[in-house]
């Protein structure tokens, strides 16, 4: 019954729509409104009959009115009980969502202490390991040290002894331990999984005819660029020449899902025109974000943060633009991904490459068909 509109319910019951709206605001369902109005309607004819024929059939009419009054009272009691139940459910929900600020403050202090200890350990470890290395050589060393630090953070954060947790009752301590375990699980997520394996397991591909997730069976040549882009700190720039239908979109989708979840940084993806940009964003990429469970908690909650061709995540920005000077400028990015540069206007490749601002940890991927001498690629 709740599937019909208020206007339709009003028409069926022969009342004004405002009557239905009034009862809806009081918390009644359509079925309850129908029952209430029909009960009141049954009472009215009986009262009229009592008024016109009271002398003729007084005992029977009197009994009928009394019965209707009993039903009306029962309906009103039922309604009051429903209101009380709704209030109780709302109160339970509100109580479950409330957190004592003192408990939150103690938990934050505890997490800050653990985090501070892990970070301070770098002061003793890193100087000797990084001495004499170039920036590119430092990246894999830092990656391993960060991974080890995160493991240490998780072990220290997951302590369940009372002395390791914020103060309070045993119930408070168990709740705090649950928060810490959740925090640690998110910190350590994906650390032991190779990027290609992570992509295969997490990125849903609705357009694949072979599998529900991204599948590189027909495009094994994409595995090496993925490995170099995500695992090799010494490789800064990858040029990949590939014909139409070779899986470039799959490559972009897999990389972007992985970066957002595991190695965030402002990212710019540039296409030859606005139509290509919006087609890729709306029909190919954004649906995979919504289907990726690993990204569920990272997607922005505010509507303005997710637009037609950009998403402003809490921890990074993703821009997808057409390769024009106006859209390429004023962006500073760690990751640059370009598509079909052979068709770009002259000078736009140079403008595109300037967006990384010589970051030591930059990564650039340019994927295109072959072009002619003197075009944008030249």
pLDDT, tens digit only, all 378 positions of the chain: 457 888 888 888 888 888 888 888 888 888 888 888 888 777 665 544 544 444 455 555 556 677 777 888 888 888 888 888 888 878 877 776 666 777 777 777 767 776 777 777 787 778 888 888 888 788 788 878 877 776 666 655 554 444 444 444 445 545 555 555 656 655 555 556 789 999 999 999 887 767 788 988 888 999 999 999 998 888 999 999 988 888 889 999 999 999 998 888 999 999 999 999 999 999 999 999 999 998 888 888 876 677 888 899 888 999 999 999 889 988 889 999 999 999 999 999 999 999 887 777 889 999 998 876 655 554
* CA–CA–CA angle 151, 119, 360 (5° rounding): 95
Sheet holding 335-339, edge to edge: 237-241, 363-368, 335-339, 267-271, 317-322, 310-312
**8 Å CB contact between 61 and 46:** yes
**8 Å CB contact between 36 and 79:** yes
Residue 373, CB half-sphere, CA atoms under 13 Å: how many?
A: 0
What pLDDT is attached to residue 315? 87
Long-range Cβ pairs for the range 8-17 (8 Å, 24+): 9/33, 9/34, 13/37, 13/38
Report the phi/psi class of residue 345: left, alpha or beta, with left for phi > 0 and alpha for psi in -120 to 50.
beta
**8 Å CB contact between 333 and 268:** yes
User: Pick from 248, 283, 287: which is nearest to 367 by CA?
Assistant: 248
What share of the chain in percent tops pLDDT 90?
Answer: 26
CATH of domain 195-368: 3.40.50.300
Percent of the chain that is helix, strand, coil (3-state, to 5) = 60, 10, 30
- Pairing type for strands 335-339 and 267-271 reads parallel
What pLDDT is attached to residue 63? 60
What pLDDT is attached to residue 165? 43
Q: Which residues pair with 367 in a beta bridge?
A: 240, 339
Instruction: Kindly list the distances between the CA atom of residue 42 and the CA atoms of 35, 68, 76, in Å, as whole numbers in the listed order.
Output: 11, 8, 15
Tallying the residues shown for the chain, one arrives at 378
**8 Å CB contact between 258 and 199:** yes
What pLDDT is attached to residue 217? 86
**8 Å CB contact between 338 and 323:** yes
Helices (H) and strands (E) in the chain, counts: 14, 6
Helices 195-202/248-262 angle, 10° precision: 100
User: Pick from 333, 319, 340: which is nearest to 248 by CA?
Assistant: 340
What pLDDT is attached to residue 259? 94
User: Is residue 39 packed enough to be buried (19+ CB in 10 Å), middle (13-18) or exposed (0-12)?
Assistant: middle
User: Pick from 273, 275, 279: which is nearest to 343 by CA?
Assistant: 273
Cα R_g (the chain), whole angstroms: 32
The mean pLDDT of the chain is: 79
What pLDDT is attached to residue 170? 44
């Amino acid at each position: 019954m709740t599937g019909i509109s208020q206007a339709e319910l009003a028409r069926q019951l022969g009342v004004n729509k405002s009557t239905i709206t009034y009862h809806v605001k009081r918390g009644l369902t359509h079925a309850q409104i129908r029952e209430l109005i029909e009960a009141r309607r049954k009472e009215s004819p009986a009262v009229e009959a009592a008024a016109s024929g009271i002398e003729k059939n007084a005992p029977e009419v009197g009994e009928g009115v009394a019965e209707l009054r009993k039903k009306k009272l029962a309906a009103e009691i039922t309604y009051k009980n429903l209101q009380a139940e709704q209030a109780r459910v709302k109160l339970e929900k509100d109580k479950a969502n409330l957190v004592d600020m003192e408990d939150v403050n103690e938990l934050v202090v505890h997490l800050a202490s653990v985090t501070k200890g892990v970070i301070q350990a770098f002061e003793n470890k890193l100087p000797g390991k990084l001495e004499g290395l170039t920036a590119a050589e430092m990246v894999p060393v830092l990656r391993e040290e960060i991974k080890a630090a995160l493991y240490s953070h998780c072990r220290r954060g997951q302590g369940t002894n009372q002395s390791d947790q914020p103060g309070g009752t045993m119930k408070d301590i168990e709740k705090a331990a649950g928060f810490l375990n959740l925090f640690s699980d998110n910190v350590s997520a994906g650390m032991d999984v190779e990027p290609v394996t992570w992509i295969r397991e997490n990125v849903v591909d609705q357009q694949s005819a072979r599998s529900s997730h991204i599948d590189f069976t027909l495009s094994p040549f994409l595995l090496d660029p993925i490995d170099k882009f995500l695992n090799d700190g010494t490789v800064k720039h990858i040029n990949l020449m590939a014909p139409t239908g070779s899986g470039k979109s799959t490559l972009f989708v897999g990389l972007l899902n992985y970066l957002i979840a595991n190695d965030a940084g402002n990212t710019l993806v540039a296409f030859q025109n606005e139509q290509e940009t919006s087609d890729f964003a709306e029909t190919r990429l954004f649906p995979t974000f919504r289907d990726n469970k690993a990204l569920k908690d990272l997607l922005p909650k505010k509507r303005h943060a997710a637009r037609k061709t950009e998403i402003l995540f809490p921890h990074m920005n993703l821009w997808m633009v057409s390769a024009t000077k106006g859209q390429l400028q004023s962006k500073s990015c760690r990751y640059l991904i370009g598509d079909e540069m052979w068709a770009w206007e002259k000078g736009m490749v140079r403008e595109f490459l300037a967006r990384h601002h010589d970051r030591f940890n930059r990564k650039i991927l340019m994927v295109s068909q072959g072009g002619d001498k003197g075009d944008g690629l030249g």
